[in-house]
Amino acid sequence: MAAPTTARGTRLPPEQIGYLVAGPGRAAETALARLLDADLVRVSRDGLVSAVHQTELGVSTAVETFILVNLRRAVRFDAVVRNAAKSAEMRTLHQQLRARRLTRDPRPRLAAWWVFLAFGVLLSLLAFLEPWTLFGAVAFLGVAYWTFGAKPLTRAGRAALKDVTASDRVLTVALEGFRGRIGNQSVGELFGLPQSVVKMLPRKKRKARNGGAASAAGCGSGCGSSSCGSSSSCSSGSSSCSGGGSSCGGGGGGGD
């Protein structure tokens, strides 16, 4: 599998792609997917995740280490993702992405956004009486939009995701999440996870972050078939699961 690259040619690991696509929750899912793929953790039917070995051998990122060291005892699947998403390691990952200008600080919409809107409208109405206030209204609304409406992905971030495809099952999680679908198959099934486990996670749309940049269409027909459901044939990006088949569908940033 060719590793996705940024516009400057730097390799972008799946966990970072997951972050850029849908935020810290998706990055946490991707880290967990990588651990599952490497046979370092296992999940049971009742959704309990446990470490296969009591060592950190085989981990490749700080978020993966955080997950593993907190699995000395079995933890619920959704709690693993939630805890990793809120971890200091995840904040560090965010800062790294921000330092590389791939993302910017999220600007959550204020609950009282309508106050700003009302003030802007008021300024616009005042422009009928005092035309000079029109400039103030335009400037105010512009600043308000910049402050509260900006998306977290930068242009470089969007470019980094542009050619990313779900060429293996870890990248598929980064792009679609465990709850996503690829063709007529749940992404969780690529890891042999029952729906009862996958549905512990909240559903999250990916559209909001990436603006439709990355694509799942690169996953060959092998990833959509049951042959990859629980085997390792997807894990290493082998030819059976890479390529550009179209049967996986679900491409583009349609979200869901």
Partner 1 sequence: MAGIKDLGVGIGWRSEIDLTVERLPGVDFVEVVAENLHIGHLPESVTLLLERGVPVLPHAVSLSLGSADQVDLHRVEHLGAVAEAVGAPMVSDHVCFVRAGGLDSGHLMPVPRTRDALDVLVANVKLAQRNLPVPLALENVAALLEWPDGELSEGQFLAELVERTDCWLLVDVANLYANARNIGTDPERFLDEIPLERLAYVHVAGGEQNGDIYHDTHAHAVLPEVLEVLDELCSRVAPPGVLLERDDNYPSDTEIAGELAAIRAVVNKHRG
The answer for residues whose C-beta is within 8 angstroms of residue 6's C-beta and 6 or more apart is 12, 100, 102, 156, 159, 160
Q: Is residue 192 a contact residue for partner 1 (CB under 8 A)? A: yes
Nearer CB in complex with partner 1: 164/234: 234
Give the C-alpha separation, 78 to 94, whole Å. 21
Task: Tell me which stretch binds partner 1 (CB under 8 A): 36-44, 60-68, 92-100, 125-133.
Answer: 36-44
Q: What are phi and psi of 43, to 5 degrees?
A: -120, 140
Number of residues that bind partner 1 (CB under 8 A): 17
Distance in Å, CB of 192 to partner 1, minimum: 6
Nearer CB in complex with partner 1: 153/241: 241
Task: Tell me which stretch binds partner 1 (CB under 8 A): 102-110, 132-140, 188-196, 238-246.
Answer: 188-196
Q: Can you read off the two tokens belonging to residue 252?
A: 């583009």
How many Cβ atoms from other residues are within 10 Å of residue 139's Cβ?
12
Give the C-alpha separation, 122 to 144, whole Å. 14
Q: What is each CA distance from 4 to 45, 55, 134, 153, 169, in whole angstroms?
A: 33, 29, 47, 17, 14
Task: Tell me which stretch binds partner 1 (CB under 8 A): 5-13, 77-85, 189-197, 245-253.
Answer: 189-197
Binding to partner 1, residues 44-83 (CB under 8 A): 44-46, 48, 50, 52-54, 74
Distance in Å, CB of 62 to partner 1, minimum: 23
Cα 159 from chain centroid (whole Å): 15
Distance in Å, CB of 163 to partner 1, minimum: 33
Distance in Å, CB of 50 to partner 1, minimum: 7
Nearer CB in complex with partner 1: 167/185: 185
Give the C-alpha separation, 237 to 219, whole Å. 10
Tell me if 8 sits within 8 A of 40, measured CB to CB.
no
Binding site for partner 1 (CB under 8 A): 39-40, 42-46, 48, 50, 52-54, 74, 192-194, 230
